[in-house]
Amino acid sequence: MKRSPLSLIVVAFVVALMLYFGYHQARHPGAASARLTNFSVAPDFSLEVLGGNTMRLSDLRGKAVMLNFWATWCGPCKIEMPWFVDLQKQYGSQGLQIVGVAMDDASKEDIAKFAKDMGVNYPILIGKEAVGEQYGGVNALPETFLIGRDGKIVDRIIGLEGKAEIEESIKRALNTQPASSRASAAEKTSLQQ
């Protein structure tokens, strides 16, 4: 049977396409991990802190904030948490504040037990769907937002990424300037003129 060259080209194209996707997926097991950057101001919210108090995001203005949405049923979240404990220890004195937001149906007791088992050294907030919606839905966990000292989102990480990549984002958030100091710098410049 004689095959037309066009058919062969089409078949080769399909095979090449499948190989490309297969290779791409094999190289990036975390294909769902996507990095998006948004330079808008992080939406403010007020949530209950595990233990009783309430925390408002705007109270942390002036600090670099790493806002991590997670859940007790999320395996990748469990990998990140010990990294966050280390990063909080390492960069806390430079102005980093990691904040965990539990997007969980589990009881507060279960969340507290999980956090204790993981040795968490940063505040855990009891998440609400409405807050997730403010941050674009938070459909996949973990989802982490790096917020600069000026309150603007520096980076958004969906899914599990390496500790080194997260550390890079933290450094970028720490390198931002608080809005007030930027305003006073601008004031100084205008006075000098």
Partner 1 sequence: MTTHQEKPLNAKTRSARRLRVQLTVIFLTAATLASAQTPGKAPTLTIAPVPVTTTPRAVATMVNLDFRVPPGYHINSNTPKSEFLIPTALKMDLPTDIVLGKIEYPVGEDRAFPFSPDEKLSVYSGDFTIAVAVHPLHSVVPGKYEMRGVLRYQACDNAACYPPKNLPVSFEVKVVKEPPAHHANPAQSPHAH
Identified binder of partner 1 from the candidate list 158, 166, 170, 173, rule CB under 8 A: 158
Nearest-angstrom CA–CA distance, 51 and 124: 9
Residue 163 DSSP label? H
- Point out which span in 14-22, 49-57, 90-98, 180-188 binds partner 1 (CB under 8 A): 14-22
Residue pair 71/77 in contact by the 8 Å Cβ criterion: yes
Q: Does 12 bind partner 1 (CB under 8 A)?
A: no
In order of 42, 50, 64, 83, the CA distances from 147 in angstroms are: 7, 22, 6, 18
Which is closer to partner 1, CB of 37 or CB of 73? 73
Do 88 and 98 contact (CB within 8 A), yes or no?
yes
From the list 26-34, 42-50, 170-178, 183-191, the region that binds partner 1 by CB under 8 A is 26-34
Contact 42, 68 (CB under 8 A): no
Neighbour tally for 180: CB within 10 Å: 12
Span 128-157, contacts to partner 1 by CB under 8 A: 137, 139-143
DSSP 44: P
Q: Which of 43, 61, 62, 78 binds partner 1 (CB under 8 A)?
A: 78
Binding partner 1 by CB under 8 A: which of 12, 46, 59, 79? Answer: 79
Is 16 an interacting residue with respect to partner 1 (CB under 8 A)? no
17 binds partner 1 (CB under 8 A): yes
Give the footprint of partner 1 on residues 110-129 (CB under 8 A): 110, 114
- Residue 155 near residue 146, CB atoms below 8 Å: yes
Tokens of 121: 């050294």
> Is 18 an interacting residue with respect to partner 1 (CB under 8 A)?
yes
Applying CB under 8 A, the residues found at the interface with partner 1 are 4, 6-7, 10-11, 13-14, 17-18, 21, 25, 29-34, 71-79, 103, 105-106, 110, 114, 137, 139-143, 158-161
